[in-house]
């Protein structure tokens, strides 16, 4: 058979396999483009600490938008984090070609409300993006995040080859690496993970969600995954971490699939300390945070505080 005829016959099947593949390595484990663009983080994303406020709040409500607003108000409200004219990037987990009910991606209602809050606070632009594991178009569509974010006024950016560049992350494992430029060309960074079981790290919450800024062959990091998570968290240090605990994927993570693996918790956490947020989030999975490698390592490295009660924790009624 001629090569041209072979490609005609097999091309659609190959393309379908790439989209339907369960691991998604085709999309986030590609080698970066030969053209090298050097990026730099504009400035710190963090806001000053306020000793009068907790570093972590939790609110439970059957209405996820109400839960988000209650938890955020407990930290001082959106005005503490977003100022007029600032460029904001929102990083939900949109890794998988899954529906909202399956709990593998961030609740689109929470993403929509966060976009609205940022714009109401005067943000000049809100960008919602992620480096998906499955096909980005399908993941953003089926998760409901694209429609929710765009309806609220955000720019949704699907990863394109020309949007990646090299940056020095300054870590012991993560040094120079390829990242999606939207994450470093912003004034404020809001991390919006969902609480999930993870087969390599026990859990994926806030710090592990930051893997979604990375391009290149992320699977090369798996041999030292705990340290690479901490390196990334130390580099990003988000403005705010908003943890989606409305639906918790308590097994078969990180991509799930069965509704039997999802537990409804109707809870949202908001935190200025990403380690505290992960420590509290891990408990929703029945994990003791002092037994989760990257949480312990982040605490020891000074990225944040594992003992969220001592750091300042408040449950909002």
* CATH number of the domain bearing residue 261: 3.40.50.11440
Considering the domain boundaries, does residue 14 fall inside one? no
Give the global pTM: 0.90
Residue 19 lies in a domain: no
Confirm whether 16 is domain-assigned: no
Q: How many CA atoms lie within 13 Å of 265's alpha carbon, on the beta-carbon side?
A: 25
Q: DSSP letter at 251?
A: S
Does the structure show a pLDDT above 80 at 20?
A: no
Residue 152: pLDDT over 70: yes
Residue 213 located in a structural domain: yes
Higher pLDDT, 62 or 33: 62
In a domain, 121, yes or no: yes
Q: What domain range is 156 assigned to?
A: 35-316
* pLDDT exceeds cutoff 90 at 17: no
- In the three-class reduction of DSSP (H, G, I as helix; E, B as strand; rest coil), residue 228 is classed as helix
Inform me whether the pLDDT recorded for 29 exceeds 70: no
With cut-offs at 50, 70 and 90, classify the pLDDT of residue 30: low
Q: How confident is the model at residue 222 (pLDDT cuts 50, 70, 90)?
A: confident
156 pLDDT above the threshold of 50: yes
Question: Does residue 265 sit within a domain?
Answer: yes
Q: Has residue 42 been placed in a domain?
A: yes
Asked whether residue 153 is domain-assigned, the answer is yes
pLDDT confidence tier of residue 28, bands split at 50, 70 and 90: low
- Domain count for the chain: 1
| Cα distance between residue 133 and residue 218, in whole Å | 10
Query: What pLDDT is attached to residue 6?
Result: 36
């Amino acid at each position: 058979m001629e090569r041209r005829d072979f490609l005609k016959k097999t091309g659609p099947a190959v393309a379908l396999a790439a989209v339907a593949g369960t691991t998604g390595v085709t999309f986030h484990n590609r080698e970066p483009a030969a053209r090298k663009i050097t990026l730099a983080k504009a400035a710190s994303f963090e806001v000053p600490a306020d000793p009068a406020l907790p570093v972590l709040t939790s609110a439970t409500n059957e209405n996820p938008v109400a839960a988000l607003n209650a938890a955020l108000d407990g930290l001082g409200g959106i005005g503490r984090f977003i100022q007029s004219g600032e460029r904001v990037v929102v990083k939900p987990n949109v890794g998988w070609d899954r529906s909202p009910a399956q709990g593998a991606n961030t609740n689109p209602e929470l993403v929509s409300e966060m976009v609205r809050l940022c714009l109401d606070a005067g943000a000049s632009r809100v960008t919602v993006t992620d480096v998906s594991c499955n096909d980005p178009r399908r993941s953003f569509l089926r998760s409901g995040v694209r429609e929710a974010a765009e309806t609220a006024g955000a720019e949704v950016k699907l990863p394109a080859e020309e949007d990646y560049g090299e940056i020095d992350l300054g870590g012991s494992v993560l040094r120079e690496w390829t990242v999606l430029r939207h994450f470093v060309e912003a004034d404020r960074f809001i991390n919006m993970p969902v609480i999930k079981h993870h087969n390599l790290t026990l859990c994926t919450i806030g710090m592990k969600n930051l893997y979604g800024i990375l391009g290149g062959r992320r699977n090369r990091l798996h041999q030292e995954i705990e340290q690479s998570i901490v390196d990334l968290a130390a580099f990003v240090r988000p403005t705010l971490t908003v943890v989606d605990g409305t639906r918790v994927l308590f097994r078969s993570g990180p991509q799930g699939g069965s509704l039997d693996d999802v537990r409804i918790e109707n809870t949202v956490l908001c935190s200025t300390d990403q380690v505290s947020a992960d420590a509290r989030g891990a408990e929703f999975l029945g994990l003791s945070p002092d037994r989760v490698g990257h949480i312990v390592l982040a605490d020891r490295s000074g990225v944040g505080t594992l003992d969220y009660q001592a750091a300042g924790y408040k449950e909002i009624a």
